[in-house]
């Protein structure tokens, strides 16, 4: 930084406010994106939610603050007497002419190297395809058995149990305990996942742990743990730390939750959610039965007609073949050897001809069946269409039958939505 570039040259005396404004502009523009190493002292947690403290070393000190909006995003909280790496920018308070380091992120002294190692591993595992969305598995809609992989004494386990107790009574819960911190944790986590795969019939695995520093959560960045998640044949939901925490198993998991409790919420709908969905599912079933009734009748009628046609044609060909064979047998004694050979080939060609006609008839029936199948309203809805009806079940297919202020239901292939008509716009017909 070149201070001469910011030198103020003027013959007129400056006011204190003007000088301070120049200093503020210079310092705030020139000192941003800072990384400072120092020890915390004179720590104060204000009622406003802001955190004030001093960062010092053997030779100097600087005032620092973490604004309330940033406190909740800190992965590490400042602690009196401990040294950290602080990231932030300089702010000048003009009324007092003082400057302060506004801290936006705090890292433990040893985490700088861990952060670099984490980024290297992330790129390495991504290159292997471990984080690809295409390899992630879908979750069962209504699982019967949930396995939880975490410490048996973890607070996260109690959070998960609390949520799962609000789920349907049929849900079975199995704990596969393991260490979730320290050097022995990676091996323990891998074994816990292996136990679930080979000793249970679990539908989903919840891999959870409470919050902590990057070092505390480091076992979830271990290659063996990430690979165990990738290779697992059971869908895995991770809920590790808080929403701001991120580990490599989160990228490899089939679904990442913000917290352990959120992981439990995502694995299975609550009883209340199911009670709300049952009436809607019944209405949808009634609608689909109504819509598909005519389709089923048409399909059954067409099937019977084609089956009758197929059988009738088969019988006709069979009788024709028998008559021709009888005729050949009757005249066999009076024909020459050359004629016998021609008749033999003609008789041999009768069976394939009949079989070919049968195959053609069957192909025609299958084509008509496929055409009717494609007209099934359920499949039509899955292609992006919807059915509009009122509360009485009347279906609307023309804009002219609607009016402003009318309340309707729009039925999609996976549910329905209530709508209120505010405007109606007819399509403009174009003349050819």
Q: What is the pLDDT of residues 28-73, one digit of tens each?
A: 888 888 888 889 999 999 999 999 999 998 889 999 999 999 998 8
Work out the pLDDT band at 430, boundaries 50, 70, 90. Answer: very low
402 and 314: one domain? no
pTM for this model (two decimals): 0.47
Q: What mean pLDDT comes out for the span 169-181?
A: 92
Are 285 and 244 in the same domain? no
| Reported confidence tier of residue 91, pLDDT bands at 50, 70, 90 | very high
Residues 86 and 18 in one domain: yes
Report residue 199's pLDDT band, with 50, 70 and 90 as the boundaries.
very high
Does 182 share its domain with 264? yes
**What is the per-residue pLDDT for 4?**
45
CATH code: domain of residue 47: 2.40.50.140
Examine residue 200 and state whether it is found in any structural domain, yes or no: yes
Query: CA 121 → CA 112, 118, 128, 237, distances in Å?
Result: 15, 5, 11, 21
Q: Does residue 319 surpass a pLDDT of 90?
A: no
Query: Are 160 and 200 within one domain?
Result: yes
**What's residue 1's pLDDT?**
40
123 domain residue, yes or no: no
- Percentage of the chain lying above the pLDDT 70 cut: 70
Q: What are phi and psi of 35, to 5 degrees?
A: -130, 115
Range of the domain at 263: 135-269
Bridge-based pairing of strands 255-256 and 204-209 is unpaired
**91 shares its domain with 205:** no
Would you state the pLDDT for residue 310? 57
Decide which of 91 and 246 is more confident: 91
Could you give the angle at the alpha carbon of 126 between the alpha carbons of 125 and 131, nearest 5°?
A: 100
Query: Considering only 81-95, 285-299, 395-409, which range has the smallest mean pLDDT?
Result: 285-299
**Does residue 14 share a domain with residue 101?**
yes
Residues 164 and 254 in one domain: yes
CATH of the domain at 151: 3.40.50.261
Residue 365 tokens, joined: 């029936």
Q: Is residue 169 part of a domain?
A: yes
Range scoring the smallest mean pLDDT among 143-152, 168-177, 265-274: 265-274
pLDDT of residue 255: 94
Count of domains for the chain: 4
CB 273 within 8 A of CB 175: no
Q: Report the distance separating Cα 187 and Cα 184, nearest Å.
A: 6
Percent share of the chain, pLDDT over 90: 36
Mean pLDDT, the chain, whole residue set = 80
Contacts of 100 (CB under 8 A, 6+ apart): 62, 63, 64, 65, 90, 91, 92, 93
Q: How far apart are CA 40 and CA 43, in angstroms?
A: 7
Residue 312 located in a structural domain = yes
Assess contact for 185 and 178: CB atoms under 8 A. yes
Residue 224 lies in a domain: yes
């Amino acid at each position: 930084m070149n201070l001469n570039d910011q030198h103020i040259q003027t013959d007129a005396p400056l006011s204190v406010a003007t000088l301070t404004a120049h200093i503020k502009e210079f310092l705030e523009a020139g000192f941003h994106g800072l990384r400072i190493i120092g020890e915390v002292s004179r720590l104060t947690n204000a009622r406003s939610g802001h955190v004030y403290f001093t960062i010092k070393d053997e030779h100097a000190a600087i005032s620092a603050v973490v604004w309330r909006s940033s406190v909740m995003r800190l992965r590490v909280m400042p602690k009196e007497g401990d040294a950290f790496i602080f990231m932030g920018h300089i702010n000048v308070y003009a009324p007092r002419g003082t400057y302060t380091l506004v801290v936006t992120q705090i890292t433990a002294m040893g985490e700088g190297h861990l952060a670099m190692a984490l980024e290297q591993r992330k790129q390495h595992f991504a290159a292997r395809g471990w984080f690809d969305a295409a390899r992630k598995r879908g979750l069962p809609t209504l699982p019967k058995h949930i396995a939880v992989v975490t410490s048996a004494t973890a607070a996260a386990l109690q959070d998960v149990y609390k949520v799962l107790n609000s789920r349907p009574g049929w849900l079975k819960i199995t704990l596969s305990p393991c260490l979730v911190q320290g050097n022995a944790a990676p091996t323990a986590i891998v074994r816990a996942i292996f136990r679930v795969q080979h000793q249970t019939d679990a539908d989903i695995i919840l891999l959870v742990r409470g919050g902590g520093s990057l070092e505390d959560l480091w076992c979830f960045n271990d290659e063996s743990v990430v690979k165990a998640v990738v290779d697992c044949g059971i869908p895995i939901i991770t809920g590790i730390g808080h929403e701001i925490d991120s580990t490599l198993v989160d990228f490899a998991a089939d679904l990442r939750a913000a917290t352990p409790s959120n992981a439990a919420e995502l694995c299975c709908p609550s009883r209340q959610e199911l009670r709300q969905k049952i009436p809607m599912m019944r209405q949808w079933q009634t609608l689909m039965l109504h819509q598909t009734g005519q389709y089923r009748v048409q399909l059954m009628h067409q099937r019977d007609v084609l089956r009758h046609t197929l059988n009738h044609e088969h019988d006709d060909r069979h009788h024709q073949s028998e008559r021709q064979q009888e005729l050949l047998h009757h005249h066999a004694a009076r024909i020459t050897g050359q004629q016998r050979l021609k008749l033999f080939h003609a008789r041999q060609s009768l069976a394939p001809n009949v079989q070919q006609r049968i195959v053609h008839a069957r192909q025609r029936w299958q084509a008509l069946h496929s055409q009717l199948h494609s007209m099934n309203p359920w499949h039509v809805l899955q292609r992006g269409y919807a059915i509009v009806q009122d509360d009485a079940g009347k279906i609307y297919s023309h804009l002219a039958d609607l009016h402003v202020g009318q309340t309707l239901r729009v039925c999609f292939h996976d549910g329905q939505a209530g709508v209120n008509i505010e405007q109606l716009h007819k399509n403009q017909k174009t003349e050819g």
